[in-house]
């Protein structure tokens, strides 16, 4: 698949699921400001890792898994105070 097609695919999938991803993060981090910060980090990570996404698989499940790891990174930084 050409790079432009892959970009369009990501944009379409992300637009279809961004609210659900945000709500997933909000359920894990019930602070709206922190949720927004982690959502932004998740959005960037999703784009960076989109090459690992298998076309035709469940984008929402995959993105929620990525979001979960972003939440863990945030929690670890908060606990250790290093970031």
Confidence of residue 49 (pLDDT cuts 50, 70, 90): very high
Joined together, the tokens standing for residue 64 give: 């929620």
C-alpha separations of 43 from 12, 34, 55 in Å: 13, 14, 18
Confidence of residue 30 (pLDDT cuts 50, 70, 90): confident
Joined together, the tokens standing for residue 81 give: 């105070």
Joined together, the tokens standing for residue 62 give: 């995959």
Q: 3-80 has which fold?
A: Rna Polymerase Sigma Factor; Chain: A (1.10.1740)
Could you read off the pLDDT of 7-23 as tens digits, one per residue?
999 999 999 999 999 99
Q: Is the pTM of this model over 0.85?
A: yes
Q: Where are the domains of the chain?
A: 3-80
């Amino acid at each position: 698949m050409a790079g432009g097609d892959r970009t369009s695919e990501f944009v379409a999938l992300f637009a279809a699921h961004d609210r659900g991803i945000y709500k997933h993060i909000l359920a894990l981090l019930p602070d709206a400001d922190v949720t927004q910060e982690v959502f932004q980090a998740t959005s960037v990570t999703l784009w960076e890792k989109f090459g690992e996404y298998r076309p035709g698989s469940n984008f929402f499940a995959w993105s929620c898994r990525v979001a979960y790891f972003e939440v863990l990174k945030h929690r670890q930084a908060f606990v250790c105070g290093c970031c």
